[in-house]
């Protein structure tokens, strides 16, 4: 569509619209990438995947009890991080705004979520929207914005915006189960190398598009999820899976340190969801939890044998559960994580926390 409004005038109007949001939020926009820990409804638009959460009892504690596609009883960790940054909640799913008539100026100008449950850092992980595709969608979104506000304005806004990335858990799960939990040291090393190489490719692509403020969330101890514990004869955490996860997280920390010295103007925080969850698991009562091993929603042993759906039951004391379903945290856990990742000490966010990244 060709607009009659002169380009300059249009730029001024658009820049003003952006400025309004910048005045009430701490950054102009938030862009989100990753898996089900971040998805707010992109997968609702996909068919042929069971990585979905757009039915009850998901969303039972969300406003109006809406199952939005979040893998939670309410808000997820990204929502809480966005709230700390002055937004109402996570930005909307890309697939909900992409074909709207006023797509980018009215909706999505304060950010978009490209995250897709089931995806990983590797394109070979899962059958949903790969990280590669998420970044292509982001590039399309950015060029659409640029066509409305000029490339320079779009780049300026992007450089001040925060990119939240929460991925890696599905790759770790896939590798662990493909090797029956018996991978050799060489196989594990090779897995880490492929993961780091591909993560580097993604981060460089985002940097080349103009992103400067990166907020990564590391992989939680997935060996403690109900779906993992149910494979242990005593329902304990799978230590091998946690060790694999921690090894990956450690390499991501080194990678980011390396990249920050190569990429001029790049700043980052890594939110340590591994430590957040481990600390809850090791002292449940200390943080007011009664159950850190079973799913609130689901059925069978540990609520982990049948996934959460309208066919299963769910607990009433959701604030005393670490896990909502057999993989994902409750809103209560996400709120705790959001608090620590945003403003917490280096145990939970390093080398700086998200608040410091936002204010830098
Ligand atoms: C958006 O529009 C394109 C082109 O018409 C179509 O291929 C695509 O499926 C639409 N996507 C959504 C999520 O509606
Ligand atoms: C990792 O990245 C390389 C280089 O971009 C690519 O060729 C390869 O397909 C990726 N591997 C996976 C498993 O996604
Ligand atoms: C892994 O090791 C266990 C115990 O040594 C063995 O029972 C199992 O068959 C092995 N799994 C695979 C896939 O090799
Ligand atoms: C970080 O940089 C060092 C030194 O160049 C290199 O040996 C190492 O492989 C890099 N590690 C990662 C994870 O990028
Ligand atoms: C719920 O139960 C119905 C009836 O038994 C079944 O057809 C359906 O597939 C079940 N849904 C899920 C998500 O398990």
Q: What is the pLDDT of residue 356?
A: 98
Residue 217 domain-assigned (yes or no):
yes
Q: Which numbered atom of ligand 1 lies nearest the CA of 95?
A: 13
Whether 36 sits among the annotated catalytic residues: the reply is yes
Residue 328 domain-assigned (yes or no):
yes
| Alpha-carbon span 354 to 213, nearest angstrom | 10
Of 18 and 152, the structure prediction assigns the larger pLDDT to 152
> How many structural domains is the chain composed of?
1
Residue 1 domain-assigned (yes or no):
no
Q: Provide the residue range defining the domain that includes 322.
A: 7-359
Q: Is 2 left (phi over 0), alpha (psi -120 to 50) or beta?
A: beta
117 has pLDDT over 80: yes
Q: What is the DSSP string of 21-86?
A: HHHHSSSS-EEEEESTTT-SSGGGG-SS-S----STTTTTTSGGG---S-SSSS--HHHHHHHHTT
The phi, psi pair for 31, rounded to 5°, reads: -115, 135
- Give Cβ neighbours of residue 266 (< 8 Å, ≥ 6 apart): 207, 212, 214, 259, 260
286 has pLDDT over 50: yes
| pTM for this prediction | 0.91
pLDDT tens-digit readout, 180-194: 999 999 999 999 999
Q: What is the pLDDT of residue 100?
A: 78
Q: Please, where are the H alpha helices in the chain?
A: 7-24, 77-84, 94-97, 103-106, 131-149, 151-160, 169-178, 185-209, 226-229, 239-262, 273-282, 331-343, 354-359
Q: Is the CB of 184 under 6 A from ligand 1?
A: no
Q: Whose CA is nearest to atom 2 of ligand 1?
A: 99
| Alpha-carbon span 36 to 52, nearest angstrom | 9
On average, the pLDDT of the chain sits at 93
Q: Which numbered atom of ligand 3 lies nearest the CA of 182?
A: 1
Whether 137 sits among the annotated catalytic residues: the reply is no
pLDDT tens-digit readout, 328-354: 999 999 999 999 999 999 999 999 999
Residue 172 domain-assigned (yes or no):
yes
**Cβ atoms < 10 Å from Cβ of 290:** 12
- Range with lowest mean pLDDT among 50-64, 80-94, 103-117: 103-117
- Range with lowest mean pLDDT among 17-26, 66-75, 183-192, 306-315: 17-26
Residue 95 domain-assigned (yes or no):
yes
Residue 301 domain-assigned (yes or no):
yes
Residue 2 domain-assigned (yes or no):
no
Residue 67: CATH number of its domain: 3.40.50.1110
| Alpha-carbon span 150 to 127, nearest angstrom | 36
Whether 328 sits among the annotated catalytic residues: the reply is yes
7 has pLDDT over 60: no
Residue 23 domain-assigned (yes or no):
yes
Given the residues 14, 36, 119, 294, select the one marked as catalytic.
Answer: 36
């Amino acid at each position: 569509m060709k607009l009659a409004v002169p380009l300059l005038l249009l730029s001024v109007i658009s820049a003003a619209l952006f400025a309004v949001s910048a005045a009430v939020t701490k950054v102009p926009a938030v862009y989100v990438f990753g898996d089900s820990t971040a998805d707010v409804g992109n997968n609702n638009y996909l068919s042929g995947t069971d990585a979905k959460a757009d039915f009850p009892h998901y969303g039972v504690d969300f406003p109006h009890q809406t199952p939005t596609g979040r893998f939670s009883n309410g808000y997820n960790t990204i929502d809480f991080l966005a709230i700390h940054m002055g937004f109402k909640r996570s930005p909307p799913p890309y697939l909900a705004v992409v074909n709207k008539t006023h797509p980018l100026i009215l909706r999505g100008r304060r950010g978009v979520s490209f995250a897709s449950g089931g995806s990983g850092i590797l394109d070979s992980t899962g059958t949903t929207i790969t990280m590669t595709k998420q970044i292509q969608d982001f590039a399309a979104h950015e060029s659409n914005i640029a066509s409305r506000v000029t490339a320079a304005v779009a780049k300026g806004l992007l450089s001040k915006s925060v990119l939240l990335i929460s991925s890696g858990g599905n790759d770790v799960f896939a590798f662990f189960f493909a090797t029956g939990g018996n991978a050799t040291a060489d196989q594990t090393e090779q897995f880490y190398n492929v993961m780091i190489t591909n993560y580097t490719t993604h981060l460089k692509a985002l940097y080349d598009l103009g992103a400067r403020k990166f907020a990564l969330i590391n992989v939680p101890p997935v060996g403690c999820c109900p779906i993992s514990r149910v494979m242990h004869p005593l329902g304990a955490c799978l230590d091998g899976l946690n060790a694999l996860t921690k090894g990956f997280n450690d390499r991501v920390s080194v990678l980011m340190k390396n990249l920050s010295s190569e990429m001029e103007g790049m700043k980052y925080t890594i939110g340590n969801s591994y430590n957040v969850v481990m600390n809850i698991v090791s002292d449940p009562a200390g943080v007011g939890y009664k159950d850190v091993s079973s799913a609130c929603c689901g059925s069978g042993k540990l609520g982990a044998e049948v996934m959460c759906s309208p066919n299963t039951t769910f607990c009433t004391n959701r604030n005393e559960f670490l896990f909502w379903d057999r993989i994902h945290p409750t809103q209560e856990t996400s709120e705790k994580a959001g608090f620590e990742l945003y403003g917490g000490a280096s145990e939970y966010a390093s080398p700086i926390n998200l608040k410091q990244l936002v204010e830098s």
